[in-house]
Structure 1
């Protein structure tokens, strides 16, 4: 037995059986399926790209302070939040809260720069902040699609399928949240089924319900059944996604859910959602400043509820087609904002959730979809963002989770994580012995150096290559999405749930049943 080591694997000990010389020559895919699990790197080895100089960043920060001091942010229907801000020195007039320059930033200062997000399986625990990176699937789609059944409203079965796929993939570190809306379950009850799926079908970190304070509390209560209340007092095991109602509003549902998560010491991800030209001015600098202003206010509230509560400075932003009003994704302007916000988050001293991921406005898993997604993912990962939402499955501006694109995106996630590891130079990687074994004009395919490294030298996608043109035509000229279809079906067939204590499973099921029976069905 020996331990698997390599870039990004410093904290993992995975025992594997020694391979015979014959077995080592079967190829990477065969070897992985037999005895070596693929493990996604959880940190970057190349530096984050600094897009903007300090004077430009300072100007954006000054603009955020101007917005908070001059315009302010409204907290509608949440007197508790208003009282907390007033006690902290903010100016509260009705539901409008204004902050003297620098106050919101000072209130954020108690949030940790780095923290662990504990998983049910400790091997899947991740760290947010520093050089760490966490990829997770798409969020919030009411529809799903696949090549066999087409576009349709998503169901609980679809939701469970995507949780299984995210758990089965080595390239996603996180189970996600509302990966797709299970529209066959009443609105007021579906959070229970979603959290139950995350806690039982996966053992990776997850997100709970946030659409009301009571649903946030249900999510926390369910997590306590699994992790224990004592453990959760001092450790984050889940996240809540809090969106500001841009421009410059937090409604009672969002600020109330934020307070519930913060009071329980669970991670609050504050994500303003600004579509340039509709929820804020058009220029990237203005979008970045407004995002910073709205984000700091939400983070400040979490710290006022519980100093030291783990938070993530998030964003979700996009440009618009100003001729039609349609949203666009993966545009250069939005990607620039993504890069700027990672710099601003580092200056704030907080983990950053990117506004990107593999997002697209395309209606199909086609060339446009992958072009948009690649642009957004490149800027996100190079920026140094710590948590990447929408890393797999997103179509139609987030309206659809696509089974085929999910698989296509997973392959790209693996390639991007490999790229973030960079490479070093030593005797083994420079391969001098291979030159001594062969000679000018000779190939290197049979050298001992090549035989040692061929199985792991290059990243190998899971979707089969199309092959030479003639072979591809003989097989029916399958496009990438068509080659992705059998892969997700194979993954679901091969899925095995992670083990869970039967008593804990029964307690979770009893909790869900009791909560559902206590409330009427609400479909809107």
Structure 2
């Protein structure tokens, strides 16, 4: 059976009138201020649909009519395909899923070393994450330091896509050519480029710039993805007080303008293109100037943005990495607050939810396992309390009556517990003496044991070795061409 997710959305910080106010503020900015788009073909597309375009300043203004028309074709329900249907993700604005970490430059490895990430780490992290039950969408968790940076998305594809059963969250760093290269590599597994376009096993993400800017490469990728019906995470990464207004409400308006403009463009290019309303925004810590991804204000922003996205009946991706440097108490409380609040708020894709630390700069093997544990507990909370004749158990209570009794002896107890109670993997609930007798391991040590076991028992890709080698060969060639193209353009 495909992955269907659990329903979220119980937690709401915004009232209906708040959402209306954000919408009207968005309309005002879209129609009167506009969005800067550096890619001329994007401006021409908007002009062809009647939008007001200032080519001299690369600004497009979108009125309410065009916004509504475009959003009416953006699907709220679609499927993100895995390597087989068991890992297909059924998307709708009610269900909650997770996405792995992304683009860390450093690694905290299983020997405790803090060092730059390398390509082998990318493969190992992917294998580890693919064996964690609460990971639904795979992303390239690190950017290897042993590879040329420009065009590295091709090598990220080769180090991730073959080693995961999940849908792969990709990102072209060079424009339309990156999307085309990724389609060709996916076709090695799917049989043809047409098969990829019909049921793509990967998605693209484009990251807009605050305030109110779409860079050339992002518009180019968005248009190419839409042409090929590749689902797109349309993302903005705002910093309240830095790149957007300090009030959360103001940032909600800026984000909304930026993301909706991208979704409108995708729908104008190819109506029905699956788009996910996305943010990776985070508070600017005014004492350090750094990105505070685990701040309570950041969690509030993401939970509120879920409501804004759902106002337009669009699925939403939110969530950020944590700020802790090691898997300690800070890491635990930051991840738990972030995951639980986003899940309850109905964030459909909780991004960067596995292994990301140090303001998204570092990936940690043990933290991946710990985060899977936290995710399991959060998902049990999402299931809520079921009330029916069986769970009320009035007849059982009547049968026992007002006397001492041990409900452990009843079959109803064992049946309920097996079906409903969450069973932790590395959380210890024993007494001190029992814990010490078993080795007295910390959660980090227990997580390291799990990670080592998974990596020792799983070394093969999720596809054939021949397909894996072919994709790697193609990726190296595509990467080299991208680097050479950059050098030629620099001359």
TM-score when normalising by structure 1? 0.85
Contact 2:278 2:317 in 1 (8 A): yes
Q: Is there any run of 5+ residues in structure 2 with no aligned partner, and where? A: none
Matched, 1:445 2:411: no
- Give the SS at the match of 1:314: strand
Matched, 1:127 2:127: no
Over residues 154-194 of structure 1, what are the superposed CA-to-partner deviations in whole Å (9 max), with x where a residue is unaligned? 11111111211221111111112x31111212223532232
User: Which whole-Å CA distance do the structure 1 matches of 2:104 and 2:427 have between them?
Assistant: 28
Q: CA deviation at 1:454?
A: 4.5
Displacement of 1:503: 5.9
State the Cα deviation string for residues 174-232 of structure 1 (Å, max 9, x = none): 112x3111121222353223212333211210022321112222112212232232233
Shift of residue 451, structure 1, vs aligned partner: 3.9
SS of equivalent residue, structure 1 residue 335: helix
Alpha carbons of structure 1 residues 437 and 146: separation in structure 2 relative to 1, 3 Å: farther
For 1:376, which of 338, 360, 383 is the aligned residue?
338
| 2:236 is aligned with 1:272 | yes
Mark the CA change 1:499 to 1:153 in structure 2 (over 3 Å): closer, same or farther.
Answer: closer
Paired residues, number: 482
Aligned residue for 1:32? none
Q: Classify 1:505/1:142 alpha carbon distance in 2 versus 1 (closer, same or farther; 3 Å).
A: closer
- 2:217 aligns to what? 253
Residues 116 and 236, structure 1, Cα contact 8 Å, conserved in 2? no
What CA deviation, in whole Å up to 9, does each residue of 1:456-498 have, x standing for no partner?
4421122151632234456675432222111111121222646
Does the CA contact (< 8 Å) of 1:69 and 1:100 recur in 2? yes
Work out whether 1:65 is the aligned partner of 2:16.
no
- Note the 1:306-345 alignment, pairs <5 A: 306-345=270-309
1:302-333 deviation per Cα after TM superposition (whole angstroms, max 9, x unaligned): 11221111100111211122233222233332
Aligned to 1:89: 50
- CA–CA distance in structure 2, aligned partners of residues 434 and 153 of structure 1: 60
**CA–CA separation in structure 1 for the residues paired with 2:40 and 2:334:** 42
Distance (whole Å) between structure 1 residues aligned to residue 265 and residue 470 of structure 2: 33
Structure with greater helix percent? 2
The runs of 5 or more residues in structure 1 that have no matched partner are 1-10, 13-40
Query: Which digits, 9 at most, give the CA deviation of each residue in 1:6-63, with x for residues without a partner?
Result: xxxxx45xxxxxxxxxxxxxxxxxxxxxxxxxxxx63324654332222111111111
Q: Cα deviations across residues 430-463 of structure 1 (Å, max 9, x unaligned)?
A: 4545874798323222333334454444211221
- Change in Cα spacing, 1:65 to 1:147, as seen in structure 2 (3 Å) is same
Distance 1:485 1:506 in 2: 30
Asked if the contact 2:428/2:435 (under 8 Å) is kept, the reply is: no
Structure 2 residue matching 1:313: 3-state secondary structure: strand
Q: 1:262 aligns with which of 201, 226, 234?
A: 226
* Structure-1 separation of matches of 2:283 and 2:469: 47
**d(CA) in 2 for partners of 1:518, 1:376:** 40
Aligned to 1:136: 99
Return the match for 1:463 from 426, 438, 452.
426
Report the Cα offset of residue 399 of structure 1. Answer: 0.5
Return the alpha-carbon distance in structure 1 between the equivalents of residues 161 and 345 of structure 2: 31
- What does 1:396-407 align with in structure 2 at a 5 Å threshold? 396-407=358-369
**Aligned-partner Cα distance in 2 for 1:187–1:51:** 40
1:370: how far off?
1.9
The whole-number CA distance in structure 2 between the counterparts of 1:519 and 1:56 is: 46
Moved more, 298-307 or 191-200: 191-200
TM-score normalised according to structure 2 size: 0.90
Determine helix, strand or coil for the equivalent of 1:482. Answer: helix
Q: Is the 8 A contact 1:65 1:102 kept in 2?
A: no
Aligned residue in 2 for 1:19: none
